[in-house]
Structure 1
Amino acid sequence: MTTHHDRLTAFRAHLATQYLDGFIVPLTDEHMSEYVGAYARRLEWLTGFQGSAGGAVVLADRAGIFTDGRYTLQVRQQVSGDDYDYVLVPDTSMADWLGANAAAGARIGYDPWLHTRAFVHEMRAALAAKGAELVAVAANPIDAVWSDHPLPSDATLIVQSDDLAGKSSAAKRAEIADWLGEQGADATVLSALDSLAWTFNIRGADVARTPVALAFALAHADGTADLYVAPEKVTEAVAQHLGNAVRIHSRDAFAPALRALSGKQVAVDPDRAVAAIFEALEAGGATILPVRDPTVLPRALKNPVEISGHRAAQLRDGVVMAKFLRWIETEAPKGELTEIAASDHLQALREAAGAVDLSFDAISATGAHGASPHYKADAESNARIEPGHLYLIDSGGQWPDGTTDITRVVPVGTPTAEMRDRFTRVLQGHIGIATAVFPEGTTGGQIDSFARRPLWAAGLDFAHGTGHGVGAYLSVHEGPQRIAKPNYPGGGPSEPLRAGMFLSNEPGYYKAGEYGIRIENLILVERRDIPGGTEPMLGFETLTFAPIERELIDVSILTEAELSWLNAYHAEVVEKIGPALDGEDRAWLIAKCAPLGRAPSGNR
């Protein structure tokens, strides 16, 4: 099957043999992951969609592809409108669409290992209202028509030493045991891959760009644990690291183990555990306590070792970015450089500097491609970076001591007045977050407007969150913290920000068909002492150090405080990464970070 239309046709034919009138196709895997291994990329295989959030519903005579505002342009470039309706969420939910389009009596299939219990209940209710039925399948029907379906990765586990983790696995399991005692529970299910990696101080290579391993676990109130992972992935070094308190089982033994917990009180995260886990526990007679995964908040609150490691990783990454930005500034005006060639060069620089991997596939976008916030260049879309356009590069590295994520924009040739105005407003929003001071208990949703106000003043906005959590040599997108509008896709109330959390600071602006702008640094929530203040306060430490393009800044728009912040930031960039550069790279950095003033000659 050479086209996505052919795949859709074959899939529909197979569904008919299973007596199904439709099927729900999510993007995720058995661990509710955002980024998934090649074996789990069923949505991409079927539809062509390569975004990191979305889903599809296939009916016998109609299909829908569901994405949020970040992918409005991308989904139309990658998915055929002849085969799929483009459905924008949350304006229209999958339940709404199914309720409107499923026929009475229809049997709509779903894979219980790929959806939360709440999702299943919502779909079942929507279909019941139409006299239709939601049907669990024992085997995913996409796999039956995916002829070259890849197997799950067989990469071995890697030990994350205590010197990098800052706390031993035994200590973390003891804290989970104490929490279980407080909950009156016997065990908790750990199914999110980053939770497993953090708890056991292990890393893996089963998901591209995210150093995690495919596994499940049961952590018990006595501090022991059962880890369900392919045995061949556990080396002698890993076994010694885990010790006798962690029992190793095959991954296939996980579901039977859940069914064997009769009479036990088991804590399960309803947002991170799939419906099949709940069903197995219920079938075995366990009592389920639906509470948040106990590792989520401790994982988000970085310890001093993790913070120190992240700072070190950021400095190495900043040196790489400085070299790359100087190279782009030199090469791009020649008109021969392509998006993929540019991102490949950046990847090579990171690897040469010691990065283990990228933290995500780089968003290397010129001109109109930059207007798609999650654009990914491929052989067909790969464009030349030519004069007259803006070039946006959003990228990051997985370093052994930290995960980085940075976005910069470079003008190729002379930018227009509009480009400079929009860039400067985005910069003002970025500074608004960087300089925010707020009381304990404040959520990211409450400060999101700090980033948008300069754009709002001009009747503009952007359709993505302002900031996401970041892991410690783990997922580049980590919860529960975020900076976003309360109704931003992802659901649930915004988490109070706490000292020790990493976040991104990345407002943007996107003009469809022309250009995209985003300025992204990583930040750390820290305590702030305010002289004379009576409330415990928090603020942000900026962790990312790389020049912000001076050619795109309209200084006349900036306030004195904003200009002061920018000049101080650039001085710190030179101070922190300058010593690691020499020759032309160092001279370029110093010139790029020279103070900007109010005189016209200082604007550019």
Structure 2
Amino acid sequence: MLMNTHEARLDALRQELKSRGLDGFVIPISDEHMSEYVGAYAQRLAWLTGFGGSAGTAVVLTDASLPSAAAMFVDGRYTLQVREQVNGQFYAYESVPQTSPARWLGENAPKGAKIGYDAWLHGSKWVEAASAALAARGATLVAVEGNPIDAIWQDQPEPSPAPAEVHDDAFAGESSKAKRAAVSEWLTAQGLDATVISALDSIAWLLNLRGTDVERTPVALSYVVAHADGTTDLYIAEEKVTPELRHHLGNAVTVRPRADFVAGLKALGGKRVAVDPDNAVAAIFETLKGAGATVAEHRDPTILPKAVKNPVEQQGQRAAQAIDGVAVTRFLHWLAVEGPKGEVTEMSAAAKLLEFRQRCGDLRDLSFDTISGAGPNAASPHYRVSEESSLTLEPESVYLVDSGGQYPCGTTDITRTVWIGTMEHLGEQPGKPSLHEVKDRFTRVLKGTIAIDRAVFPKGTNGSQLDTLARQFLWSVGLDYAHGTGHGVGSFLSVHEGPQRIAKAAGGQAGTMQELLPGMILSDEPGYYKAGEYGIRIENLVLVEKRAFEGSDGEYLGFETLTLAPIERRLVDTALLSAEETAWWNAYHARVLQVIGPQLSAPEDAATLAWLKVQCAPL
């Protein structure tokens, strides 16, 4: 019989742990590649707890009678969502980075306990931190043979068997041969024999291949070992390899069964092997060391070249934004007409936006699950709509939609916050957020978006140094938001791509200290969220570019705005905008009309074009 309740699944896990002599187990959202988004087979945390976010960890102690028998760990993006989806009767809610699973174990694990973990789902740094925290209580961390969740998940899906696909050089802008040669040169320069590359988007970029194995990210389940002599081993399930892929890879890439990866690691005994501790699981380190290899910790050599988009990828991103902007514009016009009728739901709005995207260009997938949040649901920054949670968009209320598409020429990510209704009744409405307050918060968020977009900064600047620009207008009235201001974006790859990001440097968050380089793409997305009432976010993608000044004392950089779709003008308090900010608004919307307008020339788009012209009129 299937276990249909999360309480029953938790009980079953505890029984399984008891049978293995374990006093607890750690369950992250992860796969063997430390991916952000994972395949259905790896959704162990969601299956166990009901949590549907993209970042989180649970710790379950075997003894249910302990005062702290289980805990869920999420960051500020999921503070509200975790309480809606995970039963607080069985799990304590813990906030990261204020605490961590390792720290919690150091405080709550029974003395002398054996706490299990799956070495194929955790990084080596986490293992070190958790081991140290447990040692202080006389407890130990134990690598399991086979994941206990897999033993009780009776209808667990199998990994995707879909074939891998060739990503044409016309989109990639550089051949796989050239990329592999660069990795070979790097290995030789470092005095290394090989490097293990396990991040799926790194493999996809290096070999110019894509896949459909992970929802929302076009990658294929595989591993790569690249050698200093220029040869490469690709470990991938045999049913995923087509004759076209073999021809594309050429003789310098040896295709091996994915199941042989551990044997391949053991064959590197006696070699000097580079592994990225931020992107490779602990099992890879343990296997290499056990085989007698010398492991050198280095950043994955594809990370930075992948982040710095070449001219072909940059142009592809512009093309993707032009396609996507038409879909979003059609949707926003549709919403302006249908939303005030009181019949549109979060689910139907997300479905309609997908329909508009499917009509525009070669859409392969969404780049993430659409965040379609009405009223209080929008106050959860990474809210995920479901049939159970879907609200109706009420007239005279706020609606937030964060969405994106995967096109062969680029990956998009855009957020727009709109007012549902006509604004004919501008007085305060009983039981609804204050319109005056909403406009104030919206305009402060807008000012932050503009500040990042207009920023000019010297070469060597990192994302943490820009973050304050976006927050200053909220900080000035005692407000903030609990997520980063910007993340890197891939080229028909991951919508969240490192190493660059714009965020507070607190907690040593990866990427905040990464120098911003020409060719990097980032999101620009400050926000504001009032629990139980509404949420606001405005997001555009921007491209780092060089800026030249007469008499300059060095190299300077700025941003090219990539995203093209109108911003809700009715929520702007123009009295809060400076002359420069108003000029930015007018120039941005003139460009939106210039690029999107000609694509709305069909008779059926006449109403949308007329609406767009009104939205893009100068303030």
TM-score normalised per structure 1: 0.98
Residue 294 in 1 paired to residue 286 in 2?
A: no
2:416 is aligned, of 401, 408, 418, to 408
Q: Distance in 1 between the 2:75 and 2:549 partners? A: 40
Aligned position for 2:556: 537
Q: Distance in 1 between the 2:148 and 2:396 partners? A: 48
Q: Distance in 2 between the 1:348 and 1:446 partners? A: 39
The question of whether the paired residues in 1 share the 8 Å contact of 2:372 and 2:384 is answered with yes
Q: Distance in 1 between the 2:162 and 2:478 partners? A: 50
2:108 is aligned, of 93, 101, 105, to 101
Residue 559 in 1 paired to residue 578 in 2?
A: yes
Aligned position for 2:334: 327
TM-score normalised per structure 2: 0.95
- Encode CA deviations 1:312-358: one digit per residue, 9 max, x unaligned: 01000001111000001111111111101110111111112121110
Q: Distance in 2 between the 1:160 and 1:338 partners? A: 37
User: SS where residue 365 of structure 1 aligns?
Assistant: strand
Deviation at 1:489, TM superposition (A): 7.5
The question of whether the paired residues in 2 share the 8 Å contact of 1:89 and 1:489 is answered with no
Q: Distance in 2 between the 1:428 and 1:3 partners? A: 46
Residue 214 in 1 paired to residue 221 in 2?
A: yes
Residue 509 in 1 paired to residue 532 in 2?
A: no
Q: Distance in 2 between the 1:446 and 1:492 partners? A: 12
The question of whether the paired residues in 2 share the 8 Å contact of 1:351 and 1:357 is answered with no
The question of whether the paired residues in 2 share the 8 Å contact of 1:188 and 1:218 is answered with yes
Q: Distance in 2 between the 1:173 and 1:132 partners? A: 44
Structure 1 residues 492 and 527, CA gap change in structure 2 (3 angstroms): closer
Where do 5+ consecutive residues of structure 2 fail to align?
Answer: 427-434
2:212 is aligned, of 205, 210, 217, to 205
- Overall identity of the aligned pairs, in %: 60
Residue 595 in 1 paired to residue 618 in 2?
A: yes
- Encode CA deviations 1:203-238: one digit per residue, 9 max, x unaligned: 000000100010001001111100000011000101
Deviation at 1:133, TM superposition (A): 1.2
Q: Distance in 2 between the 1:508 and 1:530 partners? A: 32
Aligned position for 2:143: 136
Once structures 1 and 2 are overlaid, which stretch shifts more, 488-497 or 353-362?
488-497
Structure 1 residues 5 and 302, CA gap change in structure 2 (3 angstroms): same
Deviation at 1:388, TM superposition (A): 2.3
The question of whether the paired residues in 1 share the 8 Å contact of 2:503 and 2:512 is answered with no
Amino acid at match of 2:474: L
The question of whether the paired residues in 2 share the 8 Å contact of 1:170 and 1:223 is answered with no
1:75 is aligned, of 69, 76, 82, to 82
User: SS where residue 163 of structure 2 aligns?
Assistant: coil
* Aligned-pair Cα RMSD in Å: 0.9
Once structures 1 and 2 are overlaid, which stretch shifts more, 492-501 or 283-292?
492-501
Residue 33 in 1 paired to residue 29 in 2?
A: no
1:482 is aligned, of 493, 501, 510, to 501
1:308 is aligned, of 308, 311, 315, to 315
User: SS where residue 443 of structure 2 aligns?
Assistant: helix
Structure 1 residues 313 and 295, CA gap change in structure 2 (3 angstroms): same
- Encode CA deviations 1:501-520: one digit per residue, 9 max, x unaligned: 00000000000000000000
Aligned position for 1:169: 176
Deviation at 1:488, TM superposition (A): 5.7
Q: Distance in 2 between the 1:32 and 1:256 partners? A: 20
Where do 5+ consecutive residues of structure 1 fail to align?
Answer: 597-604
User: SS where residue 522 of structure 1 aligns?
Assistant: strand
Deviation at 1:471, TM superposition (A): 0.1
Alignment map for 1:160-199 (pairs within 5 Å) = 160-199=167-206
Q: Distance in 1 between the 2:507 and 2:209 partners? A: 32
What is the aligned length? 596
Structure 1 residues 306 and 211, CA gap change in structure 2 (3 angstroms): same
Aligned position for 1:577: 596
1:500 is aligned, of 516, 519, 541, to 519
Q: Distance in 1 between the 2:456 and 2:384 partners? A: 35
Q: Distance in 2 between the 1:493 and 1:48 partners? A: 31
2:271 is aligned, of 252, 259, 264, to 264
Aligned position for 1:467: 486
Aligned position for 1:227: 234
Amino acid at match of 1:120: V
Once structures 1 and 2 are overlaid, which stretch shifts more, 348-357 or 277-286?
348-357
Deviation at 1:493, TM superposition (A): 5.0
Amino acid at match of 2:614: A
Q: Distance in 2 between the 1:374 and 1:458 partners? A: 24
User: SS where residue 216 of structure 1 aligns?
Assistant: strand
- Encode CA deviations 1:125-159: one digit per residue, 9 max, x unaligned: 11111011111011000001111100000010010
Residue 453 in 1 paired to residue 472 in 2?
A: yes
Residue 358 in 1 paired to residue 360 in 2?
A: no
The question of whether the paired residues in 2 share the 8 Å contact of 1:15 and 1:141 is answered with yes
Amino acid at match of 2:566: P
Q: Distance in 1 between the 2:573 and 2:320 partners? A: 31
Aligned position for 1:520: 539
Residue 275 in 1 paired to residue 275 in 2?
A: no
User: SS where residue 116 of structure 2 aligns?
Assistant: strand
Deviation at 1:492, TM superposition (A): 6.3
Q: Distance in 2 between the 1:451 and 1:531 partners? A: 28
Amino acid at match of 1:155: A
Once structures 1 and 2 are overlaid, which stretch shifts more, 210-219 or 349-358?
349-358
User: SS where residue 302 of structure 1 aligns?
Assistant: coil
Q: Distance in 2 between the 1:436 and 1:49 partners? A: 37
Q: Distance in 2 between the 1:138 and 1:94 partners? A: 21
The question of whether the paired residues in 1 share the 8 Å contact of 2:504 and 2:512 is answered with no
- Encode CA deviations 1:562-588: one digit per residue, 9 max, x unaligned: 000001100010001110013111111
Aligned position for 2:348: 341
Deviation at 1:490, TM superposition (A): 4.0
The question of whether the paired residues in 1 share the 8 Å contact of 2:379 and 2:531 is answered with yes
